[in-house]
Each structure stands twice: as structure tokens, then as C-alpha cells.
Structure 1
Amino acid sequence: MSEKCCGSNEKGRLTRSDNHGSCDHKSDKPASCCSNGSVVAFPTAKTTHATSDESEKAEYRIHGMDCPSCAVTIEKRLNRLDDIHEVNVNYNTAKLHVSGSGVLSPGNVENEIQKLGYTAEPLNQNKHYRTYDVVGMDCGGCAKSIENHLNTISSVNDISVHFSTGKMKVAHENSVDDIISEVSKIGYKASLLTDGKKPAEKTHNTEGYGLITASGILIVLGFVGTYAGLPGIISIMLYAAAIIISGYKPVKSAYFAVKSRSLDMNVLMSVAAIGAALIGEWFEGATVVWLFTLGNSLQNRSIEQTRNSISDLMELAPSEAWIKAGSELVKKPAEDVSVGETIVIKPGDRIPLDGRIIQGETSVNQAPITGESIPVDKISGDTVYAGTINESGSLDVEVTKLVDDTTISKIIHLVEEAQEQKAPTEAFIDKFARVYTPIVFGLALAIIILPPLFGFGAWDEWVYKGLALLVVACPCALVISTPVAIVSAIGNAARNGVLIKGGTFLEKAGAIKSIAFDKTGTLTEGKPNVSEIEALTVSENELLSLAFTLEDYATHPIAQTIVDYAKEQGIQPKHGEWFQNITGKGVQATIDEHVHYAGNLKLFEEMDVPLEDIRTRVEDMQRRGKTVVIVGTEQAIIGIISVADTIRETAVEALNGLKHVGVNQLSMLTGDNEGTAKMISEQMNVNRYFAELLPEDKVEAIKTLQSEGHNVAMVGDGINDAPALATSDLGIAMGGAGTDTAMETADIVLMADNLEKLPFTVHLSKKALMIIKQNIWFALVVKFIALALIIPGWLTLWMAVLSDTGAAVIVILNALRLLKFNSMNSEN
């Protein structure tokens, strides 16, 4: 396996590698193991320097790393410096965290990294970020305008605005009120979020509807007045008033956008409306502004629904908890509860914090976390999660996680991060829009100036056509076509117990045609159970009693399985003595003055015990994937007990569901022998299986599937299957609700420990891709039709603005269908 190169981050997820340094892997696919065949866990380099309390800390983005050994090289280089106290390079995120004396000196760290052939970009140094909620953004251009405007302010050190989530993160030295004021100048409303959380009360962007109604009435009155014979000046005054009422905010926003060198929709619409008024088309100008304002309000209202899909999750966990203080119950804010305190949850209440039950039994509705519709029975010692519902009994729960560390808090954090990441399609559309808009803007100016300048018609005619082209130049419907669909799909998935880590993985899931499953713990329960009992010379209960006595002193997991089964059946052990483990073969003990044995076939063969047809039975059981324990003496076989892993109840149905949604290539990866693998694959109805695999062999199986032209997803537990998960095109982990590592490492996490949500996830992803394509094509077709109608003069200004804002509202409404999509009704 020397051609493979890999590594894993501190979370246990294998990182993806390419050709650099000591790595020999030449494909753009991730590799599976290091040159010595071992898995690399890192950060590997931990400095020996003492960390000073007064040391400076800095964070950098490293460009140029293409395999984990690059990260190790950087760590080693920086650790040699005397003024460096601690170095941590995360290959997956391409980030360097470093602390020491003087690390923030200009060029210090950057120069050292540059010597190694990489570049370092300082991040967030000496910056305190605040998070704001921004109301009024209805496309990515709005976010860009806010960024550009605030970047012109010297007291703002850094800013990022995310249209999808409606959030703005700013590192600034001036006051919060100053930031809110600056945002309001360009037509949006910002409010500070405490610790990045939503305000207790949701804000709805409903302001402005009265002004829209008033300006609409003025336009109607002016239109009626024109045909009623009133003096033209009266109609013009009514139209002008409508323009001022509806156009004040867009023009104000346009002014600051131009000032910060942005060319957004406010600029285009403002120029079109003012231009129309200047050439005497007052009705057209007023209609453009009114339709534009109305369209924006409808867009904002619709987009709020997608953003609320995640904010609703935040309200699931109660803000207060009942604390047990001696014999009394005291109500405290959830954020003030410490780890180790005991909280009391009454029947019907939501659980405020993650914890462990120390007293009580109940059923818990875990749907908010795992998407499971059936309540889960809980007893003392079981884990409960914040936001879930206590269905029946009263519980005493020991708190195990603070409010910010609960599973639901992590879900919200991960989903919001995912929504802020751009999918490949979204990134491409944004680039297209950045080129498209200035080109059409320049073309509009050329149409306005050149034809009349060279005598090809009147100025009014060509100015009007140019203004119509300006309106068409606004790419709002196209830019908004993808992010709203992605946010809606990710939000829907989160509410159904599926974490999709970003638009990239959503798109990948929709393109998956082949899925490989780890067998143990994924397709099967991962724990053995007694499957067959054959008593030959005694009763079944007597056989179990002997086996119970023998195996109770053994340490093998199979022995414990038999002991647990006997206890469940109410079987009592016999009195035994002189117990002895026989390494690799079984166990012996003296019971009723006779030596008894429990072990494998080899043990009894060496004692020359007559096996007759026993051997045939045992070999048949083994071929069917079972582990066989033989109970007997030196003279005869008393009976046979077989143990086997149990297939998950939901697995077969889930696999059939995957085939129904178009995933036709299903494979099973297992370390079991050929016979066992074949038997289970037939029961599971998978297309093919790969047997007798070591972890690195699973990687080869994934590569084999990829070499056959498949986009391959790997489903495992997120830890033991790390190499294969990393090599696959899409890593899917199960059981994230109980495993922080799985939540952090996989591309997609099924929060419940079963496969029933996998067909839903693939189907949702395919539906999202379909809607994204519909939106893009619809926006482009409408745009091209509008452009085609300009030349013959058939496109009026109000038709142009309707083609843009109307198309934007339609693509948003189309994307909102993903919020209500469910696997039971694929036509949603």
C-alpha cells in the first residue's frame, strides 16, 4: 500500500491528499493510508515550549497545502523558532493557530511559511467579531453592497455578510449603534445578536407595506386622471409623489452603493426610474419603482421562511430548567446551569440540557434531534438531549453539557455554517453575475448614446431602450435561484435528523449513483446475539445452564452474549470450579464432578471427541455467518449454540428505498469471510460485496467502484471507517446524536443510529438539484426573452422590472417547496 498517502485531523476524519512532499498519491481522489500503512493522526507536532499566559495568539489561512504531510512540515518548521510557544495546523480547514511572543509581528510567521513554499494569510488578528441580524436583503448583491459600504469605514476591520442566513459578522472598533446606523443608510435594518443567537422574538420585515399601498393608489389616480381629461401636470405630480414614496429607500441605497463602488439592483432601478422621469415617461418611472419595491417586499417575506427553518430549532430547548437543590426545586436560566447539577424534567416538558438519567424511566420523543417519529424508551443511565420531549415519567437528570455545548446547539451551529458555504453552482452563478451586470450596464450606456449620436433615431427612443436594458441587467432572479433552494433543503434535512454540511455535499448527494456500506454497525446491529440452540443429549435449559456456568468466567464477547441470553431466559448457572481459559479454543470447568468444555471445533478435535455429523452442522452454520460454541465433555458433545450479528430491522427497507430513488449500485464492505458476506448480501439485497477486508482494503474497494465510473458515497460510523469515508466522494456517518466525532467529521450525518433517513436524504438532494436547475433555466429564459424584446421596442419599463422581480419571487416560491418536502410525498 506504499502508493497511498493520507492523514486524519484531530477529530478522527481522514483528510484528503494529493501529490506533495512525502505523498505519492497522484489522483485528485483522497488516499487511504500512509506509506508505512498506518493512519496519521494530527496535529502531530506538539511543541515542548512552555506556554506563556501573556503570549500572543494568531490565526492564519495557509494556501498551498495539498496533503497532511504539508501541515506536519509547517508545524515542525515553526516549532524550531524560539518565540513560538504552540503551533496547530489543521489540514482540513487549511488554518494555522499559533501562539508565542512576537508572532503578530509583521511578516514573522508569513516569512517562515513562505520559505517552505506556502503562503499565509492572517485571519482575525486582534479582532473581536459581533454578529448582527440583517433584515431586507433579498439577494447576494445586497450582501455585497453592505460589505463594500462598511469596508469604507476606517473603524471596521473586517466584515462578512451572508445573504442566505441573513447574518453579518463584523470586527469593528466603533459602537454597535454606529454599525446599525451605517447599515440603515443603505436601506437595511441590522440588530445585534447576543452571542450569535437569535433574539427572543422573531422580527418580520413588514414595514413599508403602507407606503407601497399609498404609492400604488397615487399611480392609479394619475393613470385615471390622464384618461379623465385632467391637466397633465396633476398626473405628473401624482406620479412624482409615487416615485418619491416608493423610491426614497432604493435611491438612498443606490447612492451608498455607488459610493462604495457597487453596482447592485438599487443602482440599476434608480437610474431607470430617474431616467424615465427625465424623458417624460413619468408613469413608466413610477411603475418601475412601485413594482421593484413590491417585488422586494415579497422576496423578503418569502426568504424569511427559509431562515426561520433554522431559527425554529433554536426555540426547541427551554430557556429555563428546574434544579434540584436539596429537597427543593429552583428554576434557573439554562445558561446558568453547570455540568454535574441535577435537573428535574416533568412529564410533557422539553428537556433543557443534555444529560444522563440518574432516576426515573420514561419515553422520550427525540424527533427534533434524530428525526425518529417513535419515542425512545429511556431508563437510568441513558443519555437525553436538549430540545427533546419527556413523554411520560418524571426524570432526575445529571447535566453533562453546558447550554452552548448541547447536541442541538451543535446542530444549529453546523447547519448555519453549512448554509453560509457556497455550493459550486452558487459560486459559478455569482461569478457569472459579477461579469454579466457590468457588461450589460455598459451595453445599456452604449445603446443610449451611440445610435442617436450617429443619427439612427431619436434620443428619447434609444434612452428608453437603454433604460429597459438597465432593468434587465439586474441578475437578482438568477443569483437568488440557488442559495434559497440550498438553505431550504439543508433546513428541512436538519429538522428531519440529517445534517448536511454544506451546499457542496447537498449537490454531491444528489449525484450519487453508488453507495458502499460498512457491514458491522451499519447494516447490522454490530453486537452478536444467540441465533440457534441445538441440545443433543440434554434439554435446552440444561444446555444453557451449562453454557452459562462455563462462559460466565470467560472474557470473550461471544461468551458474554451467551451469558446475557441465559440471564434473559431466567436460566440459573450450576456450581462450577477449576475454571480455566484455553487460549484461542474455549474454556473448561468442573461441573458436577465432571470436566465440561465450551469452545470451537478445534478444541474438541484435539481431544478426539467423536464428532460424527456435528462437524457438518458446525461448518454449515459457519458458512451462514454464525460463530459456533460447542458444549461437551471429553466423551461426547452435549449441544451447540450459534451466535450471529443481527441485521438491522430498517436496513433492508432503507436499501430498497435507495434503489427506488435511483441509487442502483449498492455494495457491502466487510471483514467477514466469503461465505458470511455472501449470505448477508443476499439477505440485504445488495448488488455486490467485498469480503475479508482490512481498513486499507476498504479504501481499495471504494477506489474500485470509482474506477468503474461511479460517484461513490460511503456509509460508516465516522470513526473506524475514516480511510474509506475520506476516499469516497461523499462520507456519511450514522448515529451522530451520540457521537461528537461523527458530527464533526462526516460530510453528511444521520443523527439517528439507523438507515431509514438515507433514502430521504438522497431524494431531497435530487429534488434540490432539480429545483436549482428549474430556477436557473427559468431565470435565464425570462432574461433572454426580455433582452430579445428590447430591440424592436416591445419591452416596456414596467414589463422589464416585472420580468426581474416577478421572476425572483417565482424562483423563491419554487425553492420554498423544499421546506415541505418529505419522503412520503415526493411530489411536494
Structure 2
Amino acid sequence: MSKLENKVKHEFLLEGLDCANCAMKIEKSVNGIQSITSCNVNFATKTLTMEMDKTKEIDTIEEARRNIHRLEPHINILEKGRKSRNTHNHTLYLDGLDCANCAAKIEKSVGELEGVTSSSVDFVSKKLIIEVSESATSEQLVINEAVKLINRIEPHVKAIEEYDNDPHEHNHEIGNTKKVLVRLGIGIVIGSLGMFTPVSGIYELALFLLAYLIVGGDVIYRAFRNILRGQVFDEHFLMALATIGAFAIKQYPEGVAVMLFYQVGELFQGIAVNRSRKSIGDLMDIRPDYANIKVGNEIKRVSPDEVKIGDIIVIKPGEKVPLDGKVIEGNSMVDTSALTGESVPREVQSGSDVLSGFINKSGLLSVEVTKVFGESTVSKILDLVQNASSRKAPTENFITKFARYYTPVVVIVAAALAFIPPLLLNGATFSDWIYRALVFLVISCPCALVVSIPLGFFGGIGAASKMGILVKGSNYLEALNNVKYVVFDKTGTLTKGVFEVTTICPSGNILKEDLLEYAAFAETHSNHPIAQSIRNAYGKELSVDKIQEYNEISGHGTAVTVEGKEILAGNAKLMNKENIAFKEPSEIGTIVHIALNRNYAGYIVIADELKEDSVQAVRSLKELGIKKTIMLTGDAASVAKSVGEKLGLDEVHAELLPQHKVEEIEKIDAQKNPKEKIIFVGDGINDTPVLARADVGMAMGGLGSDAAIEAADIVIMTDEPSKIPAAIGIAKRTRVIVWQNILFALGVKGIFLLLGAFGIATMWEAVFSDVGVTLLAVLNAMRVLRVPNS
């Protein structure tokens, strides 16, 4: 415990991170800091997650910042979720922002304005968030200064302050693509003049060199800048070296053409990556932008962060519910699909609980806030999905390590290829073998793997989230592929958990009404659904003052003293424990035995229904290749056996206490193959030890349940067991696509490396095997998102 208390986690947004290799270098460098216990960089979300020694927190963060700035000076490091006191946030939409470097300049310049405590540009959503100090003379003046500054730095960017709605979404990609294509088009025209006009010597070189600089000047600049920083072997260096090498051996047209092909490929690759990021982002676009808070007789629009518990907020038709709360006025239909994947709206009225992320479809609702925004459902879900990327799957870790060793090995082989054959083979020339080595180097870039694999897993997590399945890490998503044993809790997992009293059977001269009253008093302080059903059946006000003693006996029942009468209520184990003679009834259901003053008073039968999709869920699991479906329950053996038979379960273990469930999991674990995994599916409240012991803990009915979200590795946001096979299906689909990309990228690169070494492949093929393969792999990774909502 003390070790955990000495750790602290921080998350940073790496604005300007646009290179997968750079992400790998940053992760490796930060991981090398002594006080860092773990570090992950997610290229898809531009997020750096660090866990460190709490006693060295400040120094560690500063060292990490220095390392990152040394490696990538253009990256701006912003701590996520950090909000200063006495400040207000303002958001500007940067219409026309199409360059990561421009974003970094805007962010830096605006951050230096007087009155601005921090500024952050999200390049993907094209939003600038400005934190303005309350001590500023006028917040609006500061914002106006920021808008003027942006117009001066980047005249083509239009800054729009967000008030009521998100600004109209323009297709900036098209505009940016046109600019790049115009530049490339000019380069093609000048290059064509060099090819088809009768010029030679210095004039020919001048035309091709001008075309080359227009097409690839930015690549040359980045390569030179990186060399000065000691970061030599990246794709810019490889492309610059290869094309300059072509000029050195007077292959001018090929040098220009290869750079042109590379730039076109990079353009399409960038579009594909950004669109996949946007697709994943759209899946979780559930964060509310504002809340309408009621202040006296006025309605004031504020940030959800500013709303406190007990405040009254108003939600108009068409608006998102910004915070968790209870409806105090109005009724409406709400769309819960963003959280649960359910397409059918649900009705809410006065007294109903509503969660942030719901969308109000019809009526006007007044809601009393029960949780601050940081603790709300939508905030927790977004945090889970964002943090999921920090728990990397074994495949991701393998690719990271592979790329780390693969690139230097290829560079060494390329150097050997350039210089050894000309020294050993008769007739071999340095120019020919250097050209082959350059081709070899261009092919070696592992971008296809480094970019597409994390996107594949992140897409799988995003697609699962859209279906109401929250996966806390790609490691858990990948683990689902090896699940062979699915272990269920019964109540609230396979059954509805909505209990009703069906039979009241008193013993001796006791009346039914009296027996029910005794049971209701015994269950006064219990939160168990069975206790609730008994109190509901009694239906009268219970005078708590009459209870003189109350004792809950774990796994057995309760013992109370009411006005001098000793009442015992619980299962057969309680009767046996207290040596009270009774007969086991034959009815199917949960039996609550009652004893009065140590004499058997009778029993109450409580029935629970199966969920509609439980049978189909078990059948689907069998079709997916699950070896055994097992139910562990604390309920009576007769009830458990009846449920097991209806569902077609392989094994049923009844009358278990929580520790006994852990023992059963351990027995299964001892019997299974080491590579096989066990899922335990429970309600996440009473089954925390079992959820922790299983390979993958899955909480059912987690909507709004803090305990479920905390305890499990995967949270099913609805009560549907059918989401279990759906989650496994998404995991299998994700794995197929990820391995398609791995095999495709390595296969194509392997072929072209051999062709390059033997002088068959030219620069053209080399560029395709780098950029083209990356583009195709990213497009393939995007298919993960197209999982049917079923």
C-alpha cells in the first residue's frame, strides 16, 4: 500500500506531435528517467502519461520537459486537466488552421499576452483554449488582443469565439489539400520544363533544383534541423539523403519525382490519420460544452466545471445533460445511446436520475446536480477512454521494441551494402551500391507499424465505447481474444435483480401479515435487492425506533431485536448455524427463513427473472469458442440449478460467500492452459475480490455505478449480457486488422528490402513501400470503427 501511496500519475498533451517515430523517441527518453516508474506516449491522442515517485514529482516533470524539448523543440507540453484558481476559460475556434507549426506559434504567442495564464491549441479539433486571470482588467479585451495577434501571425486563420454553438464545420482539409497540390503542381511544371526542353548543363540542373526545392524544401529543412539536434535517422533524413544522392549521380528527374511521390503520399497519409482520429473522437463526442444554471429567476450559461452540487440546471430540448443529477421538474424522453449504445429513448420525470451525456429529446427539464463535473459519469467515461491508451497491449509493446531495434539494424546493413560490395566484387561501383543502400534506407522506415497499430487498438476501444462497452486498456481488449472461460455472478448479471415476493408461508399460529412485518424489520438497514423487495411487499412505514439491536451476518442474513423480540431472517445456513429446526421448502426461488425468539416462524419466497438476452448471450459465447460457462452465486442450490438449466450453463456453484467465489476462480485457473484467460462478470459492487482475481473483470450494469467503474477492467454500461460476446467480437476483429497490418507492412518491406539490395527496386518502389504501405495500413486500421451496433 505504501508503494502505491508514493506514486503519482500525470498526463500531458504533446501539442505539435505529428510523427510516430518522435513519439517513440520521447517515450524511450522519458522512461529512462530514474524516478519514472512507467511512461506511455499515445500517438493517436498526442498524450504522454507518466507515473513517478511522489517525493521527486516536481524535479521529474521538469527533467521530462527538458528531455522532450531537447528531442522535439516544436512540441508544446500541456498538463491535462490542470486549471488554475481564479481563472476563466475561453475557447476560440481557429477556422483555417491547417499546420501544426502554425498552431504551436499561435499557442506560444497568445500564452505570452498579459492577463493570459495559459493557452492550449488542440490541432485536431482546431480549438484554442485561453485561460484568463480574473485579475485581468477586461477578459474581453484580452480575447480581442488574442484574435488580433492570431490574425497578425497567421492571416489565413480566422479566430471565432464560441458562445452558443460550435461554429459551422468547414472542410479545411480540402482547402489545405488544394494549397499543397498547387505547390506540387508548380514543381511538376518546372520539372517538366527540365525534362522536355532542350536545356543541359547548369540550366538543366537549375530547373530541376528549383522544382526539387518547391516540392521538397520543407523536407530538406526538417532533415537539416533534426541533424543539428542529433536526431539523424528519421524519414525526413532518409528522403533527403536518397533524393540528394540521386542529384549527386545526376539522376535529376528521379530525385524530383521521388520527392514528389513522397509528398503526395505524406499528404494522403496525413489526411487518413487525421480522419481516423476524428472518427474515434466523434465516437466519444459526449462532453457537454455548457450548463444552463438557474440563478434566482435568471438562467446563466456557464462551463460545467463551474456548477456545484445542489445547483439547479435547466436542460432544453436538444441539449446534452451536462452533469449527473435528479429531475425536480418536467418530464421528457432522453437519448442514452452515447453512453449505452441503446437506440430506444427512455422516459424521465420528476424524481428520475439523469446522467451527463444523455441528450434531452423533448421536454424542458430542471435538474438538481448531485455530482460535480469531475465526478460525473461523462467525465469518468472520457477519462477511462483517454487513459485506455496508457495500458498498451502486448502487440503494441512488441511493435515498439521491434521498431527500436529494427531501424538501427537496417541502417548498419545499408552502410555495409554501400561500402563492402564495391571493395569485394569486380566491376562493382560505389555509385551503384550507394544508390542501392539509399533505396534500402528509404524502405526501412517502420512508420506503417508505429502509426497503424496504436490506431487499430484505439479504434477498437472507441468502437466498443460507442456500444456501451468501456475497455480500460488495449491490453484488456487483446486479452479478450484468449478468453476460454466465462464465469458469471447470477443476480443483476444473468437475472434482472428485480425481486418480488411471490409466496409468504407462515408456520404455526403466525399470520402472513406478521411474518412479513418481522422480515421487513429484519431487512430495515440492508441495501440488498432481496431486502428491498421485502420492504416493498410490506408497503408500510417502518418505525426504526422500535429496533433495539441490529446485526448483519455476512453470507447468512440478519439478526434484530424489535421491542424485545429476537428476529432472525436469512438463508438455510443461518437456521443451521443457530440450531433452529426447519423444513427446506420445495418452491423455486430465493428463500428467506424467519425465526422468532429462536423458534421457526416460516419462510418467504422471492423470485427473480432472467434477462431477455441471457440465453442468447450464453449461446453466442459457445459459438465464439468459449470452453466453459460457469455461474457462481450465493443463492440457494435449487434456484441456481434452475437458472443454470434454463441458460444451458456448463457448471453451477451455489451458496458461495465472496471468498469462496475467489477459490472457485483459482480452481479454474489451475486447470486451464496458461495462455487461456478467465472473464468474471459481476455487478462490480459485491464481487470486487473476484473481479480482481480473474484475468479480465467485467462489471455488468455499470451505468452510474462508481464501484463498478472502479473495480472492473471492462464496464458494460447496460444490463445486457449480450454485450459480453459483442466485446469479444470487437476484440477479435481488432486483432485480425492489427495483424493484417503487421504482416502486410513487414511482408511488403521485406520484399522491397531484398529487391533494393539486389538493385531491382528503385527509389519509386522504395517510397511506395514506406509512405504507400503506411497509408494503406492506416486506412485498414480505420475499418475497426465500422463494427455493427448489435
Mapped partners of 2:725, 2:762: distance in 1: 48
Shift of 1:816: 0.2
**Pairing partner for 1:480 from 421, 445, 451:** 451
Shift of 1:246: 2.8
The 1:479–1:667 alpha-carbon spacing in structure 2 relative to 1, beyond 3 Å, is same
Mapped partners of 2:569, 2:414: distance in 1: 89
Task: Give the match's secondary structure for 1:526.
Answer: coil
**Pairing partner for 1:143 from 17, 23, 30:** 23
Contact 1:303–1:812 under 8 Å retained in 2: yes
Pairing of 1:215-234 with structure 2 (within 5 A): 215-216=184-185, 218-219=187-188, 222=191, 226=195, 228=196, 230-232=198-200
Shift of 1:142: 3.1
Contact 1:273–1:288 under 8 Å retained in 2: yes
Contact 1:437–1:475 under 8 Å retained in 2: yes
TM-score, scaled relative to structure 1:
0.70
Contact 1:488–1:816 under 8 Å retained in 2: yes
Q: Verify: 1:432 aligned to 2:396, yes or no.
A: no
**One-letter code of the match for 1:489?**
G
**Pairing partner for 2:220 from 240, 251, 255:** 251
Contact 1:350–1:386 under 8 Å retained in 2: yes
The 1:313–1:335 alpha-carbon spacing in structure 2 relative to 1, beyond 3 Å, is farther
Mapped partners of 1:551, 1:672: distance in 2: 18
1:801 counterpart residue number:
767
Contact 1:342–1:398 under 8 Å retained in 2: yes
Shift of 1:221: 6.1
The 1:196–1:232 alpha-carbon spacing in structure 2 relative to 1, beyond 3 Å, is closer
Q: Verify: 1:678 aligned to 2:641, yes or no.
A: yes
Mapped partners of 1:362, 1:323: distance in 2: 19
**Pairing partner for 1:646 from 605, 609, 613:** 609
Contact 1:149–1:256 under 8 Å retained in 2: no
Mapped partners of 1:528, 1:386: distance in 2: 28
Q: Verify: 1:698 aligned to 2:656, yes or no.
A: no
Shift of 1:483: 0.8
The 1:260–1:692 alpha-carbon spacing in structure 2 relative to 1, beyond 3 Å, is farther
**One-letter code of the match for 2:486?**
I
**One-letter code of the match for 1:411?**
I
Mapped partners of 2:561, 2:456: distance in 1: 65
**Pairing partner for 1:292 from 225, 250, 262:** 262
Mapped partners of 1:236, 1:797: distance in 2: 19
Shift of 1:806: 0.8
2:536 counterpart residue number:
564
Structure 1 segments unaligned to the other structure (5+ residues): 1-41, 44-70, 72-88, 98-122, 152-157, 537-542, 590-596, 605-610
Contact 1:314–1:412 under 8 Å retained in 2: yes
The 1:640–1:250 alpha-carbon spacing in structure 2 relative to 1, beyond 3 Å, is same
Mapped partners of 1:470, 1:250: distance in 2: 16
Q: Verify: 1:497 aligned to 2:468, yes or no.
A: yes
Shift of 1:468: 0.8
Mapped partners of 1:739, 1:699: distance in 2: 22
Task: Give the match's secondary structure for 1:662.
Answer: coil
Contact 1:135–1:190 under 8 Å retained in 2: no
Q: Deviations over 1:421-461 (max 9, x none)?
A: 43211111121112111121122122222222344412222
Q: Verify: 1:385 aligned to 2:355, yes or no.
A: yes
Q: Deviations over 1:171-214 (max 9, x none)?
A: 5999x999997349x98565459689766478966746533443
Shift of 1:799: 0.9
Contact 1:518–1:668 under 8 Å retained in 2: yes
**One-letter code of the match for 1:483?**
P
Contact 1:586–1:600 under 8 Å retained in 2: no
The 1:725–1:546 alpha-carbon spacing in structure 2 relative to 1, beyond 3 Å, is closer
Pairing of 1:197-346 with structure 2 (within 5 A): 200=127, 207=176, 209-216=178-185, 218-219=187-188, 222=191, 226=195, 228=196, 230-232=198-200, 236-262=205-231, 263-312=233-282, 315-346=285-316
Contact 2:480–2:677 under 8 Å retained in 1: no
Contact 1:530–1:562 under 8 Å retained in 2: yes
Shift of 1:532: 5.5
Contact 1:135–1:189 under 8 Å retained in 2: no
**One-letter code of the match for 2:536?**
D
Contact 2:459–2:781 under 8 Å retained in 1: yes
Mapped partners of 2:786, 2:7: distance in 1: 41
Mapped partners of 1:627, 1:159: distance in 2: 52
Mapped partners of 1:602, 1:250: distance in 2: 77
**One-letter code of the match for 2:245?**
G
Percent of residue pairs identical: 36
Task: Give the match's secondary structure for 2:586.
Answer: helix
The 1:703–1:305 alpha-carbon spacing in structure 2 relative to 1, beyond 3 Å, is farther
2:494 counterpart residue number:
523
Task: Give the match's secondary structure for 2:722.
Answer: coil
Mapped partners of 2:254, 2:427: distance in 1: 24
The 1:418–1:214 alpha-carbon spacing in structure 2 relative to 1, beyond 3 Å, is same
Contact 2:523–2:535 under 8 Å retained in 1: no
Contact 2:40–2:390 under 8 Å retained in 1: no
Shift of 1:811: 0.8
Mapped partners of 1:514, 1:240: distance in 2: 65
Pairing of 1:154-193 with structure 2 (within 5 A): 162-167=42-47, 182-183=74-75, 188=101, 190-191=103-104
Paired residue total: 663
Mapped partners of 1:225, 1:196: distance in 2: 42
Contact 2:699–2:716 under 8 Å retained in 1: yes
Mapped partners of 2:739, 2:72: distance in 1: 37
Shift of 1:279: 1.0
TM-score, scaled relative to structure 2:
0.73
What's the Cα RMSD here?
4.5
Task: Give the match's secondary structure for 1:408.
Answer: helix
Task: Give the match's secondary structure for 1:343.
Answer: strand
Q: Deviations over 1:391-443 (max 9, x none)?
A: 33332211122333322122212211212443211111121112111121122
Shift of 1:149: 11
Mapped partners of 2:787, 2:207: distance in 1: 46
Contact 1:511–1:766 under 8 Å retained in 2: no
2:342 counterpart residue number:
372
Q: Deviations over 1:720-774 (max 9, x none)?
A: 2222222211111223332223223321111223323222211001111111111
Q: Verify: 1:768 aligned to 2:737, yes or no.
A: no
Mapped partners of 1:793, 1:588: distance in 2: 93
Contact 2:488–2:632 under 8 Å retained in 1: yes
**Pairing partner for 1:406 from 354, 364, 376:** 376
2:164 counterpart residue number:
none
Q: Verify: 1:361 aligned to 2:331, yes or no.
A: yes
Mapped partners of 2:422, 2:778: distance in 1: 39
Contact 1:415–1:499 under 8 Å retained in 2: yes
**Which piece of structure 1 moves more, 458-467 or 228-237?**
228-237
Contact 1:367–1:388 under 8 Å retained in 2: yes
**One-letter code of the match for 1:363?**
M
2:136 counterpart residue number:
none
Contact 1:131–1:195 under 8 Å retained in 2: no
Shift of 1:801: 0.6
Mapped partners of 1:428, 1:563: distance in 2: 56
Shift of 1:719: 3.5
Contact 2:355–2:704 under 8 Å retained in 1: no
Q: Deviations over 1:463-491 (max 9, x none)?
A: 22111111111111132231110111111
The 1:782–1:518 alpha-carbon spacing in structure 2 relative to 1, beyond 3 Å, is same
Contact 2:24–2:400 under 8 Å retained in 1: no
Mapped partners of 2:457, 2:214: distance in 1: 35
The 1:705–1:603 alpha-carbon spacing in structure 2 relative to 1, beyond 3 Å, is closer
Contact 1:212–1:246 under 8 Å retained in 2: no
Mapped partners of 2:411, 2:468: distance in 1: 46
The 1:166–1:814 alpha-carbon spacing in structure 2 relative to 1, beyond 3 Å, is same
The 1:658–1:448 alpha-carbon spacing in structure 2 relative to 1, beyond 3 Å, is same
Contact 1:317–1:351 under 8 Å retained in 2: no
Q: Verify: 1:758 aligned to 2:724, yes or no.
A: yes
Shift of 1:300: 1.8
The 1:214–1:677 alpha-carbon spacing in structure 2 relative to 1, beyond 3 Å, is same
**One-letter code of the match for 1:134?**
G
The 1:309–1:545 alpha-carbon spacing in structure 2 relative to 1, beyond 3 Å, is farther
